[in-house]
């Protein structure tokens, strides 16, 4: 046994005995997880300390994000440290096993794409030995757990630290104070290691927890005012109590604003303090040493906060502003107007005193600058950061930052031509594109060990783990029947593994000998799960009536959470269940189509589903999905994309070829041109298939349990509402083309080899979508940081 393994063994045994009076064989999965994780923390501690020092000494980046959807750490960390096999053997020798840890729950400190992207980026930066660290919030409760009861979503709190949090180190002596209008709280940092693959570099994810300045009011307790005694404590803890489950609309709630200021302020105080320890109060080097990436607008108060802190250190507003402008960069993740954050003046002034005044100062500077540049007055007032007595956070970030980027080429073009067009006209040099990426360590190596083994064997090395573009060399096997057969058999194995997981975790039975078609993502109107389920309903009617006779048996999987207050999204979940029931109850069709809603979609579920998928549904209305990243994970696992030319789908088919995927539907230009005279009711009248599926929502064919959900969905398409036009996401416009494409995919699956070749091409050409590539681009084009590898 290696020295490292001996140390793990000793630490593991000691921990289990001391904490639980147990041996490895006796320990529960959660106890074993605690002990093993703690033992691994010992293993990495020296490298972690060295890396911290190296990051501090170099020009370095801080990634500020309200969300880090890291998922389960243990298997990923074992993989990155190259310890999986040794640890498995060690546990086996003691009558335990790694497999038990499959029941350990995810850390779900994020809603979806934006949060998971932050986690992939930390992973890649660590692997590339880049001096990058993350700052965020240590939510007491992560994203709610989703249960499906009678087809309805029910939310349960996610108590993710219930069994302990072995991957965090609490750093009490580095706590800072954050002052709000209502109270002042302590921000206590918890540090998590971010372990790179095949490097000694270890990044730090520092998550702030809100605590009261004084834990408990003894006077009030003595007066028998027990609630009052803990009132201040509760109000402080409220700030990091729970992750807001809304990932689409700006809610404008005071607690959310406090969350944003809380971690922005704490992080900037931490940065300034660390800088002062080395450089004193001479801030000339500050901008040269730091880049701060703002993950969407959630941390944008960091900009006025830095200015406030620097002014406290004696700098003028102008000097402080110049430093801020050199340090901050902003990533936009959405074009949906309802998701662009604005904070009303009165709310800001009440909640975070001082911030609005600084924002006004910034705005005054903007007005002077634009006037000097000869920008017309009407454009200046459109660009005003405080227009309508509210702070417009995206505008603030573009103006008071160095770069702004979109997350896929099409998305960046839309930012330049519409959402941020006024800004692009004045500051074109600030705009960049950084197409998203995903880490192949988690999404291929961990999720799909069988496919990984094949890729490693054919390539003759594990190079692809740190250079995903190496897979392109395997394109030469696209006509190799043996290799394609092996790929087909691996998919079958993943079908079976996923089916077994579904049975074990959710008690759901599926047939692994069917095509697995998946639409997995947050439930949103713009993502068009409603189009997905209506098309399946039409297939059902056609098979039932005999119009459609040869259909390759398919299981259609849906998974995703709805924001708790988003009733239409909840109606869509209910509808998926109702269509599933309708089909399952009909023996004439049940053998051909199965619809399954997988509850509680999270990182761990995603790893199961993605590795097993044959068809990747990416059917958002063109121009609405900024990028998508599930599309990339599915591509890497050899699923073909059935999608619109939206987000990163455009670049996916550019890499893999149109012939390896199924692109359908209106392009951005068509949507744009037809917007003015689009008439979904005319389509309803002229297309009997559309009539058939829409009528089924309201004629008693489908049961929404008396909620009125289905009538509301029907009306959203044909009538519209006070806040939107009928069919605002153009479901009916794309319906026919989508059905055709769905039938083409289905027919193509019958030629197993030809279909496998398409999947294979997707695998071999997914290199661009590694987060290693994305992070390398950020490092060189935006952050100007370099590897710290010795």
Residues annotated as catalytic are 333, 521-522, 527, 629, 633
Of residues 136, 225, 213, the one with CA closest to residue 178:
213
Listed in sequence order, the residues at least 6 apart from 701 whose beta carbon sits closer than 8 Å to its beta carbon are 582, 695
- Minimum CB separation from ligand 26Q for residue 331, in Å? 7
Stretch that binds ligand 26Q, among 149-157, 485-493, 608-616, 623-631 (CB under 6 A): 623-631
Tell me the closest approach of the beta carbon of residue 679 to ligand 26Q, in angstroms: 28
Nearer Cβ to ligand 26Q (176/239): 239
Q: Does residue number 247 form part of the binding site for ligand 26Q (CB under 6 A)?
A: yes
Interface with ligand 26Q (CB under 6 A), residue from 107, 309, 348, 626: 626
State in angstroms the smallest separation of the CB of 628 from ligand 26Q.
Answer: 5
Residues 432-451 that bind ligand 26Q (CB under 6 A): 436
Q: How far apart are CA 404 and CA 429, in angstroms?
A: 9
**Largest CA-CA distance found in the chain, in angstroms, rounded:** 82
Residue 299 binds ligand 26Q, judged by CB under 6 A:
no
Segment 256-295, which members bind ligand 26Q (CB under 6 A)?
256
Residues 637-666 that bind ligand 26Q (CB under 6 A): 647
Residues 338-357 that bind ligand 26Q (CB under 6 A): 339, 341
Residue 519: both structure tokens together? 């639409």
The count of residues interacting with ligand 26Q (CB under 6 A) is: 23
Which CB sits closer to ligand 26Q, 23 or 246?
A: 246
Distance in Å, CB of 746 to ligand 26Q, minimum: 27
Q: Which is nearer to ligand 26Q, 166 or 647 (CB)?
A: 647
3-state class (DSSP) for residue 781? helix
Q: Which of 110, 122, 127 is nearest to 68 (CA)?
A: 110
Q: Which residue lies nearer to ligand 26Q by CB, 526 or 541?
A: 526
Instruction: Report the nearest approach of ligand 26Q to the CB of residue 248 (Å).
Output: 6
Q: CB-wise, 244 or 541, nearer to ligand 26Q?
A: 244
How far apart are CB 421 and ligand 26Q at their closest, in Å? Answer: 20
Which alpha helices (H) appear in 373-415, and where do they start and end?
A: 377-383, 393-399, 409-414
> Between 9 and 637, whose beta carbon lies closer to ligand 26Q?
637
- Residue 84 CA to residue 757 CA, distance in Å, equals 32
Look up residue 38 and give its two tokens.
Answer: 């703690």
For residue 179, the 8-state DSSP code is: E
Of residues 389-428, which lie at the interface with ligand 26Q (CB under 6 A)?
407
Tokens of 115: 């949060």
Q: What is the DSSP string of 188-239?
A: EEEEEEEEPTTSS-EEEEEEEEEEESSS--HHHHHTT-HHHHTHHHHHHHHT
Please tell me the distance from the alpha carbon of residue 755 to that of residue 165, in angstroms, as a whole number: 44
CA angle 264, 269, 270 (to 5 degrees): 100
Q: Which of 251, 318, 346, 509 binds ligand 26Q (CB under 6 A)?
A: 251
705 phi/psi in degrees, rounded to 5:
65, 30
**Minimum CB–partner distance for residue 447 and ligand 26Q (Å):** 18
Nearer to ligand 26Q, 113 or 193 (CB): 113
| Nearest distance, CB of residue 114 and ligand 26Q, angstroms | 3
Position with the least CB separation from ligand 26Q: 113
Compare residues 111 and 716 and give the one whose CB is closer to ligand 26Q.
111
Residues 90-149 that bind ligand 26Q (CB under 6 A): 111-114, 117
Q: In angstroms, what CA-CA distances link 590 with 430, 553, 555, 728, 766?
A: 55, 9, 10, 33, 35
CA-CA distance, 787 to 779, in Å (whole number)?
9
Token digits for 291?
């880049």
334 binds ligand 26Q (CB under 6 A): yes
Q: Which one of 42, 246, 384, 493 is in contact with ligand 26Q (CB under 6 A)? A: 246
The DSSP secondary structure of 505-559, one letter per residue, reads HH-----TTSEEEEEES---TTTTHHHHHHHHHHHHHHHHHTS------EEEEEE
Distance CA 42, CA 58 (A): 26
Asked if residue 721 lies in contact with residue 715, where contact means CB atoms within 8 angstroms, the answer is yes
Instruction: Indicate the residue among 296 and 614 with the shorter CB distance to ligand 26Q.
Output: 296
| Contact residues: ligand 26Q, CB under 6 A | 111-114, 117, 244, 246-247, 250-251, 256, 333-334, 339, 341, 407, 436, 625-629, 647
């Amino acid at each position: 046994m290696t020295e490292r393994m001996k140390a793990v063994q000793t630490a593991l045994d000691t921990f289990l005995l001391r904490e639980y009076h147990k041996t490895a064989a006796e320990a529960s999965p959660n106890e074993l997880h605690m002990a093993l994780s703690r033992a691994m923390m010992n293993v990495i501690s020296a490298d972690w300390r060295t890396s911290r020092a190296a990051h501090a000494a170099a020009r370095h980046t801080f990634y500020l994000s309200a969300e880090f959807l890291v998922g389960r750490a243990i298997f990923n960390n074992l993989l990155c440290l190259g310890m999986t096999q040794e640890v498995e053997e060690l546990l086996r020798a003691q009558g335990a096993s790694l497999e038990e840890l499959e029941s350990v729950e995810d850390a779900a400190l994020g809603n979806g794409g934006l949060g998971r992207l932050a986690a992939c980026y930390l992973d890649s930066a660590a692997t590339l030995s880049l001096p990058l660290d993350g700052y965020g919030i240590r939510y007491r409760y992560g994203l709610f757990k989703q249960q499906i009861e009678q087809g309805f979503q029910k939310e349960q709190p996610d108590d993710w630290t219930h069994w302990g949090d072995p991957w965090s180190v609490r750093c009490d002596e580095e706590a800072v104070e954050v002052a709000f209008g209502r109270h002042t709280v302590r921000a206590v940092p918890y540090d998590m290691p971010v372990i790179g693959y095949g490097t000694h570099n270890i990044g730090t994810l520092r998550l702030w927890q809100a605590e009261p300045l004084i834990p408990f009011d003894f006077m009030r307790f003595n007066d028998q005012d027990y609630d009052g005694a803990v009132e201040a404590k509760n109000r402080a803890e409220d700030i990091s109590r729970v992750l807001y489950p809304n990932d689409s609309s700006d809610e404008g709630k005071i607690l959310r604003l406090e969350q944003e200021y809380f971690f922005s302020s704490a992080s900037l105080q931490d940065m300034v303090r660390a800088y002062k320890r080395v450089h004193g109060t001479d801030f000339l080097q500050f901008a040269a040493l730091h880049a701060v990436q703002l993950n969407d607008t959630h941390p944008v108060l960091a900009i006025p906060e830095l200015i406030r802190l620097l002014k406290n250190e004696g700098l003028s507003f102008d000097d402080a502003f110049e430093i801020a402008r050199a340090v901050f960069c902003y990533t936009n993740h959405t074009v949906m107007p309802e998701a662009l954050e604005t904070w009303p003046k009165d709310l800001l002034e009440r909640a975070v005193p001082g911030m609005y005044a600084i924002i006004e100062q910034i705005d005054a500077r903007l007005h002077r600058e634009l006037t000097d540049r000869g920008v017309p007055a009407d454009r200046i007032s459109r660009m005003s950061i405080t227009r309508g007595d509210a702070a417009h956070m995206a505008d603030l970030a573009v103006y008071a930052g160095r770069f702004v980027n979109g997350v896929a080429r099409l998305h960046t073009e839309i930012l330049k031509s519409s959402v941020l067009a006024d800004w692009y006209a004045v500051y074109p040099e600030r705009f960049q594109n950084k197409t998203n990426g995903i880490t192949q360590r988690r999404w291929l190596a961990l999720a799909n060990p069988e496919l990984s083994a094949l890729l490693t064997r054919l390539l003759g090395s594990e190079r692809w783990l740190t250079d995903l573009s190496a897979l392109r060399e395997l394109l030469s096997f696209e006509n190799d029947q043996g290799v394609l057969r092996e790929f087909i058999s691996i998919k079958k194995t993943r079908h079976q593994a996923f089916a077994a997981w579904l049975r074990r975790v959710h008690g759901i039975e599926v047939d692994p000998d069917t095509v697995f078609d998946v639409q997995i993502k947050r439930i949103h109107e713009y993502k068009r799960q409603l189009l997905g389920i209506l098309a399946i309903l039409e297939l059902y009617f056609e098979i039932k009536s005999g119009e459609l006779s040869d259909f390759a048996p398919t299981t259609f999987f849906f998974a995703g959470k709805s924001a708790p207050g988003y009733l239409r999204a909840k109606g869509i979940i209910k509808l998926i269940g109702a269509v599933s029931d309708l089909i399952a109850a009909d023996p004439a069709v049940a053998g051909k189509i199965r619809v399954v809603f997988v509850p509680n979609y999270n990182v761990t579920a995603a790893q199961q589903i993605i590795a097993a998928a044959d068809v990747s549904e990416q059917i958002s209305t063109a121009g609405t999905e900024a990028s998508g990243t599930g599309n990339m994970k599915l591509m890497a696992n050899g699923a073909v994309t059935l999608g619109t030319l939206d987000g990163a789908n455009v670049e996916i088919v550019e890499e893999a070829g149109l012939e390896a995927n199924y692109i359908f539907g209106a392009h951005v230009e068509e949507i744009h041109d037809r917007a003015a005279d689009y008439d979904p009711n005319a389509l309803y009248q002229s297309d009997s298939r559309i009539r058939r599926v829409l009528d089924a929502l309201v004629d008693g064919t489908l049961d929404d349990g008396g909620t009125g959900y289905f009538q509301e969905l029907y009306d959203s398409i044909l009538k519209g509402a006070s806040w939107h036009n009928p069919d605002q996401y153009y479901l009916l416009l794309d319906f026919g083309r989508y059905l055709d494409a769905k039938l083409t995919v289905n027919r193509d699956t019958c030629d197993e080899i030809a279909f496998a070749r398409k999947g294979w091409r997707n695998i071999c050409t997914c290199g661009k979508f590694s987060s290693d590539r994305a992070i390398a681009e950020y490092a060189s084009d935006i952050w100007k940081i370099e590897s710290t590898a010795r």
